[in-house]
Chain A
């Protein structure tokens, strides 16, 4: 299986990459290639021009900036999973990265590529939404920042403009909260049937703040606001968490059903994973 023909450019800077995208209709960025190349082999994607950003070294980094955690778009899943800086305050992100595919996939796949691809079961999607990430973008008109809540626009669709490139992802400091990621993976593909990221700030035995998001449930990641509302002020014990988790699928209308899991089963899993995630993050 070969990809179709395309013209290949290796960009040496983000400006050059954006210019190549803007100048070439049908051009696509190539990052780790672990979503794009499989799609090209199947002719589900037929870009005429590929702009390889793999050798732009300044896009691969993990750093603290004014209390925020910032991750370069070309940072691999393996490097995010192994980073102590990430694990220290943003456990959900580290655990999501570590749960992706297998070693070989994590060695090449990137966070920027995963977010831009917007697979409805992508693991980072839940973490980005729960941790209130800002997607930092460069386009022909300059830089802008898109909140994760506004970024995912549907199945394999984002609010990126055609000539925009993700440069990095910014996560606010944890501010004393703990976050985790719980995933129920499809055993063959490793993709999430349902994945839940939870960030909990505990105060004594009760919940002071909660942000919870799920992937695999719908055509895009969903925020579970009703669980969050039920948790705040509640005791972080088995009963308090179970009561809040009952709201897990409240208000969700377009829960996916496919050959791996029926809608009812996904709703059930969602409640189970919310319970597990909140229990771990709140303890």
Chain B
């Protein structure tokens, strides 16, 4: 049997530099979960539909089940584990809690990160814009009403904190 060829990759995940050897066909989501132990990115459909595996690459939401780990060489990645700081939840995490934006929580990390991408581009989205931005994230139990509400209130508290209107 031939030895499997490994490729060396380096990336920053939640501000921490990682260097690892991976098989070229390793999907980013498996690298994050199994090699780095960051299990917040979930594997749902595995077919680029559900968004449970969403992470941020350079601040943009992407489905990590449809990205090879080698393609993310040199990238800056944020997973749900990287959002809270010093025991303080990120405003999106806090508002999902306060507004009941989750039930089982399976879709939540991906949905929060997709919402994060939206709020960096648009600090004051209306409901239609929020729904449009979350089209790639399926929730099977909460329903979208409270998710939209949570994103709206997170946007408001982030605007307040940022001193912008």
Residues of A within 8 A of B (CB): 1-8, 10, 30, 33-34, 37-38, 41, 50, 52, 54-55, 78, 101-105, 107-108, 189-190
Contacts and interface: CB of A to CB of B under 8 A. Distances in A.
Given A5-B25, A54-B71, A104-B54, A37 B61 contact: no
Which among A34, A41, A102 has the greatest number of chain B C-beta atoms within 10 A? A102
B47 A108 contact: no
B125 interface: no
24 contacts: A1-B47, A2-B25, A2-B26, A3-B27, A5-B23, A6-B24, A6-B25, A8-B70, A10-B70, A10-B73, A37-B48, A37-B67, A41-B46, A54-B71, A78-B60, A104-B48, A104-B54, A104-B136, A105-B48, A105-B63, A107-B62, A108-B62, A108-B63, A190-B135
B67 A108 contact: yes
Interface string B1-45: 000110100000000000000011111000000000000000000
A34 B60 contact: no
Given A2-B25, A8-B24, A34-B48, A103 B133 contact: yes
Which among A2, A7, A190 has the greatest number of chain B C-beta atoms within 10 A? A2
Contacts of B67: 33, 37, 108
A148 B4 CA distance: 41
B114 interface: yes
B142 interface: no
B61 A104 contact: yes
Interface in B122-165: 133-137
Contact of B47 (A2, A30, A41): A41
B66 interface: yes
Given A5-B25, A78-B60, A103 B73 contact: no
A117 B67 CA distance: 17
